[in-house]
């Protein structure tokens, strides 16, 4: 055991002197390690995308909230619907408001369905955000399992080395140390990827819930104004 520990320590020391110890944690996990690294790149890409998308200025831009509200307060519901459906104004908030206004103006029972239409649209838009975020959660769940798989692979290799090797074999301890390193490095990689993914997913999900709540409150105000007007535009 002592020669084995000495060999591992010598390897770590030589890696540190050569400045390659960090690189070892990236490349030392074998094929499974490279898969985990690839997943980490995908996770970073999705995290960046969602941090850009899940912002108040992107989902509930203040100028658009104010613009559609002013049109509704003036009783110009057709204009408010047109404003909500313009491609240049596309956002989470206006997709919800537009669904309610469309139902109100196009259906003979629209006055009774506007609120439910907005609730359905809000639930659908929120579900879309959740579905794209699920990639981050999936990576956070799969990464430690891949790390565990690499650990098992490394330990199998270590035991095979013990079974096949001999104490006087010059490459015995080197081979044993390499297999143990694979086992530990893949576990390390899986946890390094999983912990941030799970944490960020929880943050983003809470952020979506908070913004969806703000949207629902604002939509409720629009419904109140529309119901108070008691008429359709131009009628």
For the entire predicted model, the pTM comes to: 0.77
Cα–Cα distance for residue pair 129/96, rounded to 1 Å: 14
Task: Say if 190 falls within a structural domain.
Answer: yes
Task: Say if 13 falls within a structural domain.
Answer: no
Longest dimension (CA), the chain: 97
DSSP assignment string, 146-215: HHHHHHHHHHHHHHHHHHH--TT-TTHHHHHHHHHHHHHHHHHHHHHHHHHHHHHHHHHHHHHHHHHHHH
**The pLDDT value given to residue 108:** 77
**The pLDDT value given to residue 46:** 95
**The pLDDT value given to residue 29:** 77
Count Cα atoms within 13 angstroms, Cβ side, for 106.
Answer: 8
Task: Say if 202 falls within a structural domain.
Answer: yes
Question: What domain range includes position 182?
Answer: 23-229
Task: Say if 101 falls within a structural domain.
Answer: yes
Cα–Cα distance for residue pair 219/55, rounded to 1 Å: 18
**The pLDDT value given to residue 224:** 87
Is residue 27 helix, strand or coil?
Answer: helix
Task: Say if 58 falls within a structural domain.
Answer: yes
Q: Are 66 and 180 in contact (CB under 8 A)?
A: no
Cα–Cα distance for residue pair 208/220, rounded to 1 Å: 18
Number of domains composing the chain: 1
Q: Is the dihedral of CA 106, 107, 109, 112 positive or negative?
A: negative
Q: Are 64 and 95 in contact (CB under 8 A)?
A: no
**The pLDDT value given to residue 105:** 85
**The pLDDT value given to residue 54:** 92
Q: Per-residue confidence of the chain (235 residues) as pLDDT tens digits?
A: 434 334 443 444 444 444 456 677 677 778 888 999 999 999 999 999 999 999 998 999 989 999 999 999 888 889 999 999 999 999 999 999 999 988 888 877 767 788 888 999 999 999 999 998 999 999 999 999 998 988 888 887 777 776 666 554 656 667 777 778 788 888 888 999 999 999 999 999 999 999 999 999 999 988 888 877 754 444 4
Task: Say if 6 falls within a structural domain.
Answer: no
Q: Are 193 and 39 in contact (CB under 8 A)?
A: yes
Task: Say if 12 falls within a structural domain.
Answer: no
Give residues with Cβ within 8 angstroms of 166, minimum separation 6.
172
Task: Say if 183 falls within a structural domain.
Answer: yes
**The pLDDT value given to residue 18:** 42
Compute CA distances 113 → 34, 118, 217, 224, whole Å. 53, 9, 17, 13
Q: What tens digit of pLDDT does each residue of 131-183 get? A: 989 999 999 999 999 989 888 888 877 777 766 665 546 566 677 777 787 88
Fill in the DSSP letter of residue 88.
G
């Amino acid at each position: 055991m002592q020669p084995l520990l000495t060999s591992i320590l010598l390897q770590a020391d030589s890696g540190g002197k050569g400045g390659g110890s960090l690189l070892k944690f990236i490349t030392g996990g074998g094929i499974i390690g490279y898969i985990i690294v690839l997943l980490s790149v995908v996770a970073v890409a999705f995290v960046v995308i969602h941090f850009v998308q899940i912002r108040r200025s992107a989902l509930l831009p203040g100028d658009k909230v104010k613009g559609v509200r002013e049109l509704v307060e003036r009783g110009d519901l057709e204009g408010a619907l047109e404003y909500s459906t313009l491609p240049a104004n596309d956002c989470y908030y206006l997709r919800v408001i537009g669904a309610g206004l469309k139902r109100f103006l196009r259906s003979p029972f629209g006055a009774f369905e506007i609120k439910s239409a907005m609730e359905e649209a809000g639930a659908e838009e929120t579900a879309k955000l959740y579905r794209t975020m699920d990639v981050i959660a999936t990576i956070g769940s799969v990464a430690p399992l891949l790390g565990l798989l690499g650990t098992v692979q490394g330990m199998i290799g270590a035991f095979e080395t013990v079974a096949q090797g001999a104490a006087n074999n010059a490459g015995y301890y080197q081979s044993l140390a390499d297999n143990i390193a694979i086992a530990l490095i893949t576990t390390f990689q899986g946890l390094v990827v999983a912990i941030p993914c799970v944490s960020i997913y929880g943050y983003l999900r809470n952020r979506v819930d908070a913004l969806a709540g703000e949207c629902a409150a604002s939509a409720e105000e629009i419904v109140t104004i529309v119901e108070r007007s008691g008429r359709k535009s131009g009628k």
